């Protein structure tokens, strides 16, 4: 009887541990990121004034909002690197690092993405674009109007070609589609909350 009780407790512990690990590493990242208090919604089509960050050169601007401490941000580094390589001659890519706890150098961030793109550490850029979680993609048209703000992919590792939302947005803008259509998952934040990389 005592042995049976111990086995039951052991299996219960294993089951709870597996459930906890699944929650910590997978399920909680499938839940939408809660809107912060006093969130200032920036509507699609709004003019985004970013000053020197986005010098006007008649090209669209793609801003990758990145937190090196955010697991979701780390998972999609290869995907963002691919986008930079594929579209770098047609789109101006920028990386905005959102992490107030640690300091990172521009060189460190560029090495992570294997790309010599401009890197900024200005949290005000996120506010101006309506970004409150990482990773997030923002695409501005050549006139700096907000064309897309949202997720990269439905999967954490950006492996589902059918839901490559950020890439779809770039393709749509470059093909001069003025009325892009995206599903709710594309446009709702599903990453780590700012500023402390919490969920």
Q: Please report, in tens digits, the pLDDT of each residue of the chain (199 residues total).
A: 777 776 676 666 566 554 444 444 454 456 778 888 888 889 999 999 987 776 667 899 999 999 999 888 898 999 999 999 999 999 999 999 999 888 899 999 999 999 999 999 999 999 999 999 999 999 999 999 999 999 999 876 677 788 899 999 999 999 999 888 888 889 988 888 877 666 5
Round to whole Å and give the CA distance between 129 and 140.
10
Question: What are the b/e assignments for 160-193, b being 16+ CB within 10 Å?
Answer: eeebbbbbbbbebbeeeeeebebeeebeebbbbb
pLDDT at 9: 67
Is there a contact between 137 and 64 (Cβ–Cβ < 8 Å)?
Answer: yes
So what's the pLDDT on residue 168? Answer: 95
Q: Is the pTM of this model over 0.85?
A: no
């Amino acid at each position: 009887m005592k042995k049976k009780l111990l086995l039951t407790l052991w299996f219960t512990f294993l089951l709870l541990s597996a459930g906890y690990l699944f929650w910590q590493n997978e399920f909680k990242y499938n839940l939408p990121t809660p809107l912060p208090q006093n969130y200032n919604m920036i509507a699609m089509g709004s003019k985004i004034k970013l000053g020197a960050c986005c010098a006007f050169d008649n090209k669209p601007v793609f801003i990758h909002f990145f937190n090196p401490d955010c697991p979701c941000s780390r998972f999609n580094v290869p995907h963002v690197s691919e986008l930079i390589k594929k579209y770098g001659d047609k789109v101006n890519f920028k990386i905005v690092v959102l992490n107030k706890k640690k300091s990172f150098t521009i060189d460190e961030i560029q090495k992570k993405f294997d790309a010599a793109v401009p890197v900024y550490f200005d949290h005000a850029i996120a506010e101006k674009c309506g970004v409150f979680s990482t990773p997030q993609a923002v695409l501005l048209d050549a006139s700096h109007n907000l064309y897309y703000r949202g997720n990269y992919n439905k999967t954490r590792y950006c492996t589902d070609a059918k839901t490559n939302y950020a890439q779809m947005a770039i393709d749509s803008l470059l093909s001069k589609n003025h009325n892009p259509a995206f599903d709710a998952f594309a446009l709702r934040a599903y990453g780590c909350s700012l500023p402390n990389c919490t969920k």
